[in-house]
Structure 1
Amino acid sequence: MTRIKKPKEVKRELHPWKALIVALAFLFWAIFELQTQGETLWYWFMLVVGGIIILPNVFWIWSKLGTPFGPPYFFSMLKTKHFVNFIDNLGKKAKTLEKISIGGLFLGFGLAGIDYWTAREKGGIKRIIILIIGAIGLGLIFWYLLGILFSVPALAPLFWISLIAFVLLGFGGLTIAILLGYGALAVVAFFSAEQICPSIAPVIPGVPIPGMGITIPLIAWVSLGLIMIIHELSHGVMLAKYKEKLKSVGIILIGIVPMGAFVEQKDESFMKKPERKQILVLSAGPSSNLLTIPIALGLFALLMFSVGPIQEAFADDAALMYDGVQVSQVQDEISFCGITKEAPAKGQLFEGDKIILLNGVDINSIGSLNKVFTDTSDYNFVVLRNGTQVDVNIEPVFFEGLNLKRIGVGFTPIETGYVPPVEMIWTSMIVNALANILFYLAFLSFAVGMFNFMPSDPLDGGRIAKFVLLPYIGFMGFNREDGQKFIGRLFAWLFLISLLLNVLPYLTMLF
């Protein structure tokens, strides 16, 4: 998500018009695929590459708003000198952030982080006691807070190895364990001709996650923007605290998608700082992201509690807006992660059917419908069809890897035409927007914080690992510089291997 130093700019001659032709070719291919095959994985690939990546980069470069780096027309960076003075002023009051960075180091690197910062200097029995207490604390955090991740059957086999990895190396170890572990499961599934869902997917608000049919709403861009601001602001404030001069701040884009950010220093003096200060600067970003999670969830709960009386006040108007729920779409097939099955509702439910009862429960809203779907397995519908009540029994398709049930039906509320007061409409829109922003702020903060602690370059965790893990390879006889290079290469290869293994589910989905 972040880099402390600004990426290197591309210095060769660029031809935006050539990239424009390529972008248009991808978009025309996407349109052709949509018209002939529908919304396939290839359609979304062409649309994303042409319309979301290459075309915006042509605009950034042509307008001189952005500077290309890496593969031109795929990556651009936008930078500004604004906010530098603001960050410098915050740096004078950063004692709390310093403590947050230390706590984040313990969570990000587990016992290795605790040993580096506290236990090793104590030595002897004190070191052992500190590590035992740390292991118990980390184990409890995993068991009660992170264990929910492994309630999904696809991840359940990785529970114990992930627990050990988290205790030893915190979120950095957990990320590597999940990626490598799931990659191994993907290899087994590949050679046994089974299909499993990818564990790695591009998360772009407004664009369906390939093969899963899940779309994160566009308003999550606000959450992602806040996460990047929090992340980079934390790095910048810690740099300012340690008297580092900032030149600019900026974001890294793949087309229109923000993929990272950076703070640019006026010189290279940061690399000469004591390693503990370097670690705290690096840890500040992901640590602040992790701290954002309970804050966002707390605000989400407070929002839901606060709107309760408002919802009650508008209850009568809300009841006048809708008159039940009807079937809006019946699919022929259900596809998920490359697995395609005939939709159980095909030939059973029809567009326009009004849902009267579901498993004996009166259905008067989408909310009451979803509650029954969540609580039960098989479904008994009573629907009103052409003035006649009809009983329909449906056994859903069960995707075992994710505890997911589908029947292949879309539902919509039946509108009465009643228009509620304007204040009710605006209140509902604002509350829903805030709720979504806070929810995805927590969700994406977890993903960003966890990923950035992974001990692989160019992530924050990659730099931290070279300090924290160096003492543990002393027996190998490396000098300091070679030892840090070894650590960097080791985790870079582990990360690359895990990525390649996790591509296998996509290959089986495509072919």
Structure 2
Amino acid sequence: MLSNSLIALLGIALLILVVNLPVHVVFKFVLGIAAMYLISKLFSRQTGIKDDWGMLMVRSKAGLRTIDALAKNENAWKLFADLGTVVAYGTLSFFIIRRPLKERALVVFAGLVVLSLLSLLVAPVVFPFLIGILGTEGLAAKSSVATGSQSALVAAGLLYLGGFSLMVFGSLISYAVVVLSAVIGALFFGTHTIQTIAPGATLILPGINIPFAEGIIALALILLVHEGAHAVLARIARVKILSSGVVLLGVLPIGAFVEPDEDQLKKVDSEKQSRVLVAGSTANLFASLAAFFLFLGFLFVTVPYKESGLLVVGGNQSGTVIYTINGQNASTFAAGNLTANSTLAIGSSRGAYEVTLGKGQFSYYDLSSTFFLAKYSNPALEFIYNLLGLIFSLNFVIGIVNLLPLPFFDGYRLLELNVDKKMAVTAISWIAALAFLVNFLPWFF
């Protein structure tokens, strides 16, 4: 019988093997999930923990005292949750928050300030950073979609009217329409528009498309703050926490949970339930803002150590920094009279090689023209850059996506709690679910 340590080592070895396979990222995902499913089965047999479709729920009562201690400052946590409600639902939160009129107006104003900071400072950096980490050409295109003045005005209107919840919901649907029209064109009319359409969503798996160690640490912190906030607000609502724990797929932490007494939770008033539900995303978004400023400070103090050149995005050379092209500085290289099939001599972080124009094309970013994308030859600096960047960007993405009215997401339960008409809730959730799935379709073309 294999020990838990040997099973964990086997899981890590399988992940490394999958990462280095010369196959498309979609196949890497499938193989990676299959490998982790096998590891979960081995863990289940060894520990006796029942797995559910390869997912292990590891329960513990550790940390419950800490949760109770944090919950003693009730007023601060209630304000925290109410600010999160404003970030989630914008001006509409005025009709959700239950405070005296003047106090409610001040909370909404303060929440809109936080919403502005997140949308103006953090949001514009999330996609460029993830492009550099994921090495995904599709997401590079996605970041340039809907940047016109009219689209920006509509997005801003949705943001301040209904917070991140309404803006992301609207963006999800509008981009799904773009994707669906391109798919229909490809399938029935032979058009090639779909090949220029970026996926609107992607899966994230440490070791597959984000760095393994930094990804594990970042996801662990994300899950900790998210579920911890749920637990604290549940205790403030006088709801008993039965246990807490982590959800594992093999050796990967893919979720966390607190297990409140559901019967007690259903009996508390809607205001308290809303605070419990919105607390997770609120914690993620506040953590994103804090990590962003740490990330910003790190970039400022490490400017002398940043590499310069062209950062390759997508293809087999993704993550490579090109220093020279035909002996010239890559950032200032002039193509001149180069024609198709011309050969270029490349000097890069992976050594010297040649490429032929028109073959194996790739996207790139000029590191000298963007402050937030960086590469470091020093492994320690590269690790810190990746870690801080993943913490701020994934906290932001997970925080806002969790507000979508999708089944099993907090956004769905919040909608169900605050909208009386069940048919409307069902219709909205179906629209969101279908749009969400459609956004993945470009990966298959």
Q: Note if contact 2:86-2:112 (Cα within 8 Å) is conserved in structure 1.
A: no
Q: Note if contact 1:232-1:262 (Cα within 8 Å) is conserved in structure 2.
A: yes
Any unmatched runs of 5+ in structure 2? 1-10, 128-140, 186-190, 339-343, 348-353, 367-376
Any unmatched runs of 5+ in structure 1? 1-23, 209-214, 319-323, 326-330, 344-352, 362-368, 385-390, 408-426, 471-479
**Aligned residues: CA RMSD:** 4.7
Q: Give the residue type in structure 1 aligned to 2:41.
A: V
Structure 2 counterpart of 1:203: 204
Within the alignment, does 1:265 sit opposite 2:245 as a pair?
no
Measure how far apart 1:131 and its partner are.
9.0
Measure how far apart 1:287 and its partner are.
0.5
Within the alignment, does 1:436 sit opposite 2:386 as a pair?
yes
The aligned runs of 1:364-443 (5 Å cut-off) are 372=331, 378=335, 404-405=363-364, 429-443=379-393
Measure how far apart 1:84 and its partner are.
1.1
Structure 2 counterpart of 1:49: 33
**Structure 2 CA distance for aligned equivalents of residues 296 and 168 of structure 1:** 26
Measure how far apart 1:279 and its partner are.
0.9
Structure 2 counterpart of 1:116: 96
Q: Note if contact 2:214-2:386 (Cα within 8 Å) is conserved in structure 1.
A: yes
Measure how far apart 1:178 and its partner are.
2.0
Structure 2 counterpart of 1:414: none
Q: Note if contact 2:29-2:208 (Cα within 8 Å) is conserved in structure 1.
A: no
Identity of aligned residues (%): 21
Q: Note if contact 1:378-1:395 (Cα within 8 Å) is conserved in structure 2.
A: no
**Structure 1 CA distance for aligned equivalents of residues 221 and 114 of structure 2:** 30
> Helix, strand or coil for the counterpart of 1:207?
coil
Pick aligned residue for 2:428 from 481, 487, 491: 491
Q: Give the residue type in structure 1 aligned to 2:238.
A: K
Structure 2 counterpart of 1:282: 277
Pick aligned residue for 1:172 from 154, 165, 190: 165
Pick aligned residue for 1:461 from 403, 411, 420: 411
Q: Give the residue type in structure 2 aligned to 1:178.
A: S
Q: Note if contact 1:287-1:449 (Cα within 8 Å) is conserved in structure 2.
A: yes
Q: Note if contact 1:161-1:177 (Cα within 8 Å) is conserved in structure 2.
A: no
Within the alignment, does 1:66 sit opposite 2:43 as a pair?
no
Distance 1:164 1:43, change over 3 A: same
**Structure 1 CA distance for aligned equivalents of residues 200 and 30 of structure 2:** 22
Q: Note if contact 1:111-1:134 (Cα within 8 Å) is conserved in structure 2.
A: no
The aligned runs of 1:194-233 (5 Å cut-off) are 194=193, 195=195, 196-208=197-209, 215-233=210-228
**Structure 1 CA distance for aligned equivalents of residues 323 and 124 of structure 2:** 40
Measure how far apart 1:451 and its partner are.
0.9
Structure in which a larger fraction of residues adopt strand: 1
> Helix, strand or coil for the counterpart of 2:144?
coil
Q: Give the residue type in structure 2 aligned to 1:204.
A: L
**Structure 2 CA distance for aligned equivalents of residues 118 and 41 of structure 1:** 47
Pick aligned residue for 2:85 from 101, 105, 109: 105
> Helix, strand or coil for the counterpart of 1:455?
coil
Q: Give the residue type in structure 2 aligned to 1:440.
A: L
Pick aligned residue for 1:154 from 145, 149, 170: 145
Measure how far apart 1:243 and its partner are.
2.2
Distance 1:159 1:354, change over 3 A: closer
**Structure 2 CA distance for aligned equivalents of residues 43 and 506 of structure 1:** 11
Pick aligned residue for 1:247 from 226, 237, 242: 242
**Structure 2 CA distance for aligned equivalents of residues 251 and 221 of structure 1:** 13
Within the alignment, does 1:87 sit opposite 2:73 as a pair?
no
Distance 1:405 1:285, change over 3 A: same
> Helix, strand or coil for the counterpart of 1:219?
helix
Question: Rg: which structure is higher?
Answer: 1
Q: Note if contact 2:288-2:396 (Cα within 8 Å) is conserved in structure 1.
A: yes
Q: Note if contact 2:233-2:276 (Cα within 8 Å) is conserved in structure 1.
A: yes
